[in-house]
Structure 1
């Protein structure tokens, strides 16, 4: 990045420690004891070592990164040794004494005892050493600093005459190289080179050692990188090439360019000036191979962001929003059955950053009836409860000032519970949180307080009485009227029954009690609800209750209630109610502990419970297995304070998170990680074959184990070159929870070193990764050289879209490119007219034809009444109706002719022989004529009504026929459309099936996928992407088809309405004729 990060790992060493002081050193083992008087003890200027030497003896050192504690006091148990020291140092021996505790695990602790000249000196050295120990940043110094550290160690391991033995130097490079080569290289450097020679410390400078390192272990791996940067055309890297290398290789492309700016010339020149030793090259802003090596081995190329070693997370959220470094059965240093208990384990785990320890409290059986801590009746040794409380007081806040939780598994009677409360009160004093904070009362709905408000506070997790019972009994206790009515104590001589089979725990009955933890069936009548009121009153924010279900917990909404789950029970809940478990952990705390059958103190994989947001994932710290390595590797960051803030979506109530999700989580950008293991350095002090495994742990879909491993490099533990093809972790759904694990093994599959690196904070580029021991203690020299590439995960088919977003200019359309080219020729955008262009040219036509071919289109004929009237069925009904009409008209005509004839005959008879004048005046004639007019009018009215009735009947019949014809035509059109849709879906299914087959073939033939696991993951990923794509295609097709059907249905409905309207018009016509007739004079006669 443009701005350099200052990694201040060096804690100033107090002057008295630099000057040194003469102490008497002694140690005491089971079989022997030793005293070394008048040793000059010193600490080097960097705070790497405390070393000592006395007259006539070789020097010795202790790495301060392995020092866990410096304790006041400590005198020998051996009376002879005690008398010796007392005679030399006088009285008050304990006041002048110090004990330096060190080791590379939590069990095998080495004790170096010293006697200082006086108590004041002892205090000065104790305070001074404590100030420079537990320096987590020093554990993460760069490779070059580690080389310097080793060189300083060689300078301290001098012979009695103060010289550096050549054989000690040769031992550094013993693995993989013959001693003859080492001696030859020493000779080339002008240093003594015979096996029994010694080197003057003044002649053995760091630059000499650094040069010797490169002679014996030439960095050919970096030579190849150097050649790739210069393209083999020069002996130096120019500044432009260096800037390109920094931005394209050493920078994570996912980073925000404002917060993490790109490297520029100024910053690149600063780097060259810092690491390039050739002044001429510095002036010309060039980098030699030596300068590149020095840069790659510097703090600027740490594998993770070094600011993550400080407390960088927000510590003001409720306790339930944090992962808490937790220990199970803390007192044990071995097996769960027949193992040993130790007070020292409490000190060691707390000094290692643990914030939750377990105390299994039982009644003491001695005369003093002191409560003890032991593993029930599992035949383990016991330790005194009060000794543990003293240890907690002394070490709880040495490495972190954030709160410590004491998880009591309380089996004591009330009498001894009183002692538990008394010791906690008196020994811990103000460190013990005895009352809830005013702003965080113990009420439903009130969140837990944040770690920042509980600094240097110890919380007790123990069963608590009901509030009304506690208040009453506590009042009686304070008045001295509380009567302890203990139940009958357990018989200490009762036989122990061992059940080697794991207890079956029903999910619905998971208990906060850890009685099911042990592989021993223990029936006790201790206090699960029978709690001493004083002890009960000390419990506040960690109140264990029997788990009754997530729905009950949700209803109660009591944040300070918590439950414990055996690992198998917890997994059961994850299997059946994963989302509910995650939501539960947003509100209140849960503790997970190993199942009872883990008699060997092995650990379960904690990752699955971190994925669910469980806060206290308790492990056996005495066992440095893979789960423990993951735990310590994870909690090393955020200042090793023991608290890690959970990801945002695991804290927010408005978000749902499925820990078994296989697709990217909303709001979280999935990552892609590639790791190339190039080489190793100082992996073993033996001439053995080595290989490297790279694993990832996170969500189940992100976890890849035992799959990526390099080839075995035989007979070289010093500087093997693997130069493997990159291991690709193609899709990491949740980078915030994922970690990478590097494991180095020898040819016998023995772990030589390991390292856990969180993906969140991992740096891209060529990086040296220093290794750790099984117990996560730093190893000075062993390291790996790797190339790490980090990207945003892009699903198949979206590569072009992602590239366009990343670099839009590279994805301009053809027309935009042509416009730019024309602009270069002087043609402006305003001079170009695309509005009046006719036709699309051959390209457009071709594209159009392809589209037409691709999408079948159907144009349906508009169904009108005229079209329907040409149908056979309609023509048939109209012919029938015409016949009916003709018959009726013929009948009417016949009737009119008959009536007319009859009326004419009557009139003729009546007027026969009479003149016209008389006829007009004759009343009889008038009467006959009037009757005939009436008869004719009635007949004509009847004929008209019969005609209109028949016409209406015909129109109704025509309506039925036309409606049926229209319905059948519509049905035929709809069927045709459905047939088209069916063809489209069949074609789509066939195409999708073809893609699926091609995908399987593509993955099977992909040579870059080297393992079955890789191929299975890649195939699964492609299938998931295909499935999503196929479902989207089908959904789109169904929506399109649904719209087409809906559109056709609307068209059909309109056609029906038009038909009905036209028929109604016809009916309206006849109706109007009737009305009009009714309104006219109905008198008619034939003329």
Structure 2
């Protein structure tokens, strides 16, 4: 997928004119027909950021916000279909005297689906046609903005803030009630815990925090909303990351630290920039993300500013340039994936669904570039072609209506060529009308003859998308240029072009097309020649894997089945159709045969000429790029399995189309990622079904300005490539990737169900794909707004997922899917590996239509390295560090020159030492002097090779220094998980006691506050009253101290238990690891003993008269010395492992002790702070809250223990 570096991104955010922000008067027509058909007076406006269309009802005093990203289409004038009851305007003399009603009418198609009957149709009536036309144009432009459909997490928060400010406001009071705000964040579900958390956050921001309070929108700025977001989320992982970069004692991220972070964050696989390269970028980012606080610009970024940057478009997980038109559009059509639709006219199931002209408009608005038209003769016998699913109850739509709709929407969102795939079942008269409609309606857009630069001849490539801009291609049967009048001769119809029968030998049917032999359990199928022009073509079944066993082609009643062969453009008739046994063979053939092409239709077919597929060999011999074939998903799958390399070469030259198997009656889809890696350009899917394959398709084609064309990887377009996509192997001239992913946390501001699982899926070449739910990450904590998926140290090397070798990164994509415990879908995102940026990134989750979900994202860390095979590692290291092995001593240069001259006489010469050996050559110099004169004869070459081939040279493998990741076992993980569960259980057991004492503590503070407040505010305060007040204060103070001591005692007991359990767990954990280290050491020692023994046996087996006894003895001695060297190194490694393990163990136990001690001290300080603050309020005149409340709520202590206390040891997880 080549990138045109000379083209800068032209994408911009929506810029809303001032008058559209202020609003326009309009009449809104009721959407529900059952209600009174009376228009509502509204004011239409768009928020300043361009996220929502705001509809304010002046009569009902209600506000409705329409998400611009969900606007499919806007229509006015002749395109408008007036709703039922529009006669109201005529009766009231509105719009009749001046201009037609339709010219002032605006209809918005709105929703989360492509099915027309499920979309909302929102109607507005304006004062003049110019206003209606402007609103229609602007709303469509804003709604289809690429930036709006690919928002960053920060943009999503701004969008949510805009929704709150404009959607929750009371039109009369111009305020937002706290109750409605909480209901919005909780999705109208009562949740005490979340409500309290929100109220505490509002209090923290010094905003009204009572359920009956109201918020002034002018005060509730985005800056405050962002701080509220931080408070609800906790953002501990951001604090840890911030602290790991600058240290505990610093509060600001300076330019120097920012430069280091940017270099690490943007460290791509070919990044060679020095630190100074990020100087200006670092300055710009600090300036940009500290605008909300002028004091920070000189100091640097605070943790809040840093979080803003991480969430922003500047830190998007994909390169923003990929969203724009970034690919080379001058290659042949066969070198692109083309967004394609199957049975486009259907708005439901294949058998019972409805045909709908609107489906063509909706599908074209997605950028789809290949749509299907199944054309039949009119049921009314008036020669007017219609579109429907042949021989099904589906009601038809007029062909001409569909063509008009295609003309209007063919290039509304993309200028690149549109392909009409025609399945033609019409007679000559209807076909004549079809051809005329195409010519008259499409006019200059229709390709009626080949381009002069790209004739439809052999050995010529297809034209490019740029060559065919704003052009429409017709895919329909085409007559051969030398075809005679015999084409229509009925004598040639003994073998139907679209149908062959299957009959059992036990029946009386006589069939020459397909026969079965009773002696075989499998069905043996072949075809006879239908005529001389077809030569000898073996019939390939379309559905070898139709059923689960991939062998059975028909059901038990074979006589009652018809196998429909995929010939010409009639591939998509039902594959296996059960018929009435009483029907004649002729009626069956007539039922499924596709009509012959007429000359008028044939003349319109260029570059996409459908032909019956025979063999890849014949297609290569013909070398006609303008010919194409269609395959059912099962037939294509079998071709991939049997002839993958040939299929790949075929797709480098010409187009192919894959369509769903005929038994997908419910309009489900196949996985297009099965066929894209083999180069299949058009995977036709059912757009009315937003299942996982459709989500993959929408995500895949959302890049390159969503133009409907995605450039294929260059490795799949090389004509002389030896690449076999079925085999997991490195692609020639392509560097594979190692990808490591850590899912840290998930942010779900408006989520009513716990996002329990994150499923990480890899799609790509067949060897790269992982199994479903293979990498399922479970949430460890959930506070109602944020899910924590990884609680290890931020700089830990523990990853959620590892993909050790992605062989063709340009073809691969990562998909993140978030779901609840019971599998309920929450959000998903598909990210091509070629577009991804490593580092700490936020993944914005999307709905089934690939539209961003405003309040849902994942924080991940992703690392991408070049994959290098083990045998090439040393060579790669030398390329990376060419001076690493450079000889610095001139004497060594002379010695090496001498060794080179004698290398063929030296059994220890460097040519026999394996590249990945870690043993320096210099260590064998003393042995060389003894052996040079002994083994100078070529007859000892076998012994030379025996030493050189000994596995004792493999020091890197045999003497591998173990890491924790190497020795972690299921036993260790299970033990660690058990300890964590026990810690969590202790926390839960004590939480009720803590909550109870905390309530007592809070009530005591409030009681003290209220009592003294009442005494102090009495106007006739006497000495007795003052003494009484002082006495009361002392009583309350003692009570508070008592409750405080009780609370601390509970916390202390809890922490002591957790500390003891954690320390015991650490000891057990490290004991298990030590056991594994010792076992591995024993295994390594046994391995080298076994290698030495095997080498000695091989040598002794070669006793012959030519073998010199001294030579044999010297070789054995050499092998034994090599064995001792390896053994010594193993002992050193073993002791090193044990020492490091003990050191790590002591350090982690110390951390554990400090952690619980610090937590208890933090709680003590917190309690003291709350007590002092409560007492200090009486010494100030400003003790009253801003809302006149007598009771000042305190911040709950549960913030310190919302999550079970996590273990800080890095070794508790695999390294």
Q: Residue 530 and residue 263 in structure 1: after superposition, are their counterparts in 2 closer, same or farther (change >3 A)?
A: same
Task: Give 1:271 shift.
Answer: 1.9
Gap change, CA 1:26 and 1:368, over 3 Å in 2? farther
CA distance in 1, matches of 2:816, 2:758: 7
Structure 1 residue 131: deviation in Å?
2.6
Matched, 1:317 2:391: no
Q: Is the 8 A contact 2:566 2:572 kept in 1?
A: no
CA shift at 1:432, angstroms? 1.8
Tell me the residue number matched to 1:928: none
SS of 2:414 mapped into structure 1: coil
> 2:76 maps to which residue?
72
- The higher radius of gyration belongs to 1
1:530-551, Cα deviation, whole Å (9 max, x unpaired) = 2222121111111101012111
Matched residue SS, 2:787: coil
**Distance (Å, rounded) in 2 between the aligned partners of 1:23 and 1:420:** 42
Q: Distance in 1 between matches of 2:808 and 2:897?
A: 53
- Structure 1 residue 772 displacement after superposition: 0.6
Partner of 1:629: 695
Q: Does 1:58 align with 2:62?
A: yes
1:511 touches 1:565 (CA, 8 Å); kept in 2? Answer: no
Match of 2:161 among 126, 129, 151: 151
1:710 matched to 2:710? The reply is no
Q: TM-score scaled by structure 2?
A: 0.65
Is the partner of 1:744 in helix, strand or coil? strand
- Shift, 1:621, TM fit: 1.3
- What is the CA–CA distance in structure 1 between the aligned matches of 2:44 and 2:381, rounded to whole Å? 45
CA gap of 1:431–1:165, structure 2 versus 1, over 3 A, is: farther
Q: 1:237 aligns with which of 246, 253, 262?
A: 253
Structure 2 residue aligned with 1:170: 182
Task: Check 1:1004–1:769 CA distance in 2 against 1; reply closer, same or farther (3 A cut).
Answer: closer
In structure 2, relative to structure 1, the CA distance for the partners of 1:993 and 1:253 (3 Å cut) is closer
The equivalent of 1:90 in structure 2 is 96
Q: Is the 8 A contact 1:9 1:138 kept in 2?
A: no
Partner of 1:766: 840
CA distance in 1, matches of 2:330, 2:381: 48
Alignment of 1:563-962 (within 5 A): 563-682=629-748, 685-705=751-771, 706-713=773-780, 716=783, 718-723=785-790, 725-726=798-799, 727-808=801-882, 811=884, 816=888, 835=894, 846-848=923-925, 859=935
| Shift in CA distance, 860/541, structure 1 to aligned 2, threshold 3 Å | closer
User: What is the rounded CA distance, in whole Å, between the counterparts of 2:714 and 2:567 in structure 1?
Assistant: 28
Whole-Å separation in 2 of the counterparts to 1:415 and 1:503: 37
- Paired with 2:842 and 2:788, the residues of 1 have a C-alpha distance of 14
Instruction: Quickly say closer, same or farther: Cα 1:535–1:77, change in 2 above 3 A.
Output: same
Match of 2:468 among 454, 458, 465: 454
Contact 2:421 2:474 in 1 (8 A): yes
Residue 124 and residue 801 in structure 1: after superposition, are their counterparts in 2 closer, same or farther (change >3 A)?
Answer: same
Structure 2 portions without partners, runs of 5+: 1-5, 497-542, 555-561, 579-587, 792-797, 900-918, 975-1090, 1108-1215
CA 1:804/1:483 → structure 2, altered by over 3 Å: closer, same or farther? closer
Please name the residue that 1:435 is paired with: 449
Shift in CA distance, 183/140, structure 1 to aligned 2, threshold 3 Å: same
Name the residue aligned to 1:128: 138
* Partner SS state of residue 47, structure 1: coil
**Separation in 2, partners of 1:430, 1:223:** 61
Once residues 839 and 970 of structure 2 are traced to their aligned partners in structure 1, the CA distance between those partners, rounded to angstroms, is 21
Instruction: Report the equivalent of 2:987.
Output: none
Q: 1:265-276 maps to which residues of 2 (within 5 A)? A: 265-276=279-290
2:475–2:569 contact (8 Å) kept in structure 1: no
Rounded to whole Å, the distance in 1 between the matches of 2:618 and 2:398 is: 39
Tell me if the contact between 2:27 and 2:125 (Cα under 8 Å) persists in the aligned partners. yes
Does the Cα contact within 8 Å between 1:541 and 1:560 map onto a contact in 2? yes
What is the deviation of 1:27?
3.5
Change (3 A) 1:856 1:84: farther
Is 2:200 aligned against 1:200?
no
Tell me by how many angstroms 1:510 deviates: 6.9
SS of the counterpart of 1:568?
Answer: helix
Q: Distance in 2 between matches of 1:154 and 1:626?
A: 32
Q: Contact conserved, 1:410 with 1:527, CA < 8 A, in 2?
A: no
Q: CA deviation at 1:89?
A: 3.9
CA distance in 2, matches of 1:856, 1:63: 84
- CA shift at 1:857, angstroms? 9.6
Alignment-derived partner of residue 370 in structure 1: 384
| Match status 1:213 vs 2:229 | yes
Distance 2:413 2:763 in 1: 27
- Alpha carbons of structure 1 residues 368 and 115: separation in structure 2 relative to 1, 3 Å: farther
CA distance in 1, matches of 2:896, 2:616: 68
Do structure 1's residue 514 and structure 2's residue 571 form an aligned pair? Answer: yes
Aligned pair partner of 1:562 in 620, 628, 640: 628
Asked whether the 8 Å contact 1:591–1:617 carries over to 2, the reply is yes
What residue number does 2:1028 align with?
A: none
Which of 102, 114, 126 aligns to 1:106? It is 114
Shift in CA distance, 395/236, structure 1 to aligned 2, threshold 3 Å: same
Distance in 2, Cα, partners of 1:295 & 1:340: 49
RMSD, matched Cα: 4.2
Partner of 1:118: 128
Of residues 332, 344, 360, the one that matches 2:374 is: 360
Q: Against the structure 1 CA distance between its residues 434 and 992, is the aligned structure 2 distance closer, same or farther, given a 3 Å change threshold? A: same
> Does the Cα contact within 8 Å between 1:246 and 1:263 map onto a contact in 2?
no
Cα displacement (A) at 1:410: 0.9
Task: Give distance in 2, aligned partners of 1:216 and 1:54.
Answer: 33
What secondary structure, in the 3-state scheme, does the structure 1 residue paired with 2:467 have? helix
Instruction: Specify the SS of the correspondent of 1:760.
Output: helix
The 1:1008–1:704 alpha-carbon spacing in structure 2 relative to 1, beyond 3 Å, is farther
Deviates more, 1:430-439 or 1:514-523: 514-523
Pair 1:301-2:339 in alignment: no
Decide whether aligned partners of structure 1 residues 363 and 633 sit closer, same or farther in structure 2, where only a CA change above 3 A counts: same
TM-fit CA distance, 1:253: 3.5
Matches within 5 A, 1:1014-1029: none
- Following superposition, the deviation at residue 770 of structure 1 comes to 0.7
What TM-score, normalized to structure 1? 0.73
Paired position in structure 1 for 2:267: 252
Give the Å deviation of 1:392. Answer: 1.0
Contact 2:262 2:278 in 1 (8 A): no
CA gap 1:196/1:427 in 2 versus in 1, 3 angstroms: farther
Per-residue Cα deviation, 1:232-274 (whole angstroms, up to 9, x for no partner)? 34222333332222212x113412437x997433332222222
Q: CA separation of 1:583/1:833 partners in 2, compared to 1, >3 Å: closer, same or farther?
A: closer
**Does structure 1 conserve the Cα–Cα contact (< 8 Å) formed by 2:337 and 2:712?**
yes
**CA-CA distance at 1:1003 after TM superposition:** 9.5
Distance 1:392 1:468 in 2: 33
For structure 1, the residue ranges without an aligned partner over 5 or more in a row are 474-481, 491-498, 820-828, 862-972, 1013-1032, 1050-1087
Cα drift, residue 443 of structure 1: 1.4
- Residue matched to 2:1158: none
Structure 2: distance between partners of 1:856 and 1:1007: 49
Give distance in 1, aligned partners of 2:816 and 2:895.
65
Contact 2:89 2:95 in 1 (8 A): no
How far is 1:407 from its partner?
0.4
Contact 1:712 1:747 in 2 (8 A): no
Cα deviations across residues 685-723 of structure 1 (Å, max 9, x unaligned)? Answer: 214252211111000111123211212346555211111
Q: Distance in 2 between matches of 1:256 and 1:114?
A: 53
Equivalences for residues 260-409 of structure 1 within 5 A: 263-276=277-290, 277-284=292-299, 286-366=300-380, 368-409=382-423
Give the aligned partner of residue 23 of structure 1: 26
Q: Alignment partner of 2:751: what SS? A: coil
**Aligned 8 A contact 1:28 1:34 in 2:** no
Conserved in 2, the CA contact under 8 Å of 1:320 and 1:588?
yes
